[in-house]
């Protein structure tokens, strides 16, 4: 039991460090509106049907190519818009062009609604970093 708890804590810590590391690197300028980082908002964006909905969707749709080497992690970034959609999908880490294109395609087709981020009691656009292990 202690091993399981330690493993879970280590996984969550490494996940948080990874997202914070990549969150600083982007400069989204899709439109004139400001795009906030997750650390700058009062309430972070979240999926209406929970994080598990995205995990299940990615597991079903992101397939490994036998010809390509296995990718241990893919770090993506996108903007959660005020209307609950996502836009400006980017892959942040260095992976093959095949996996990059496939990842962007999978995220583009993901149509589950999001609760937008809130800053000063106003819904705002927010950059969201998501890691696929």
pLDDT at 50: 87
From residue 79, alpha-carbon distances to 30, 63, 118 in Å are 9, 24, 13
Instruction: Determine the pLDDT at residue 65.
Output: 74
- Going by C-beta distance under 8 Å and a sequence separation of 6 or more, which residues neighbour residue 108? 89
Q: Range of 65's domain?
A: 2-132
Is residue 130 within 8 Å of 38, Cβ to Cβ?
A: no
What 3 state SS string does 24-68 have? CCCCCCCCCCCEECHHHCCECCEECCCHHHHHHHHHHHCCCCCCC
Tens place of pLDDT per residue across the chain (133 aa): 443 333 334 343 444 445 555 555 455 555 557 899 999 999 999 999 888 888 999 999 988 777 778 888 899 999 999 999 999 999 999 888 888 999 999 999 998 999 999 999 999 999 999 998 8
As beta bridge partners, residue 36 has 126
**Per the structure, how many domains does the chain have?**
1
- Enter the pTM of the model: 0.74
Please report where in the chains the tokens 């496939």 appear, as a residue: 102
């Amino acid at each position: 039991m202690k091993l399981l708890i330690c493993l879970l804590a280590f996984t969550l810590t490494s996940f948080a460090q990874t997202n914070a590391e990549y969150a600083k690197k982007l400069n989204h300028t899709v439109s004139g509106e400001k795009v906030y980082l997750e650390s700058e908002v009062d309430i972070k964006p979240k999926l209406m049907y929970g994080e598990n909905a995205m995990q299940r969707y990615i597991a079903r749709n992101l397939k490994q190519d036998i010809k390509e080497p296995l990718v241990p992690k893919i770090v993506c970034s996108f903007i959660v818009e005020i209307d609950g959609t996502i836009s400006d999908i980017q892959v942040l880490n260095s992976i093959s062009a095949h996996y990059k294109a496939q990842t962007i395609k999978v995220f583009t087709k993901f149509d589950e609604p999001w609760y937008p981020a809130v800053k000063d009691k106003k819904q705002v656009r927010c950059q969201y970093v998501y890691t696929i292990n």
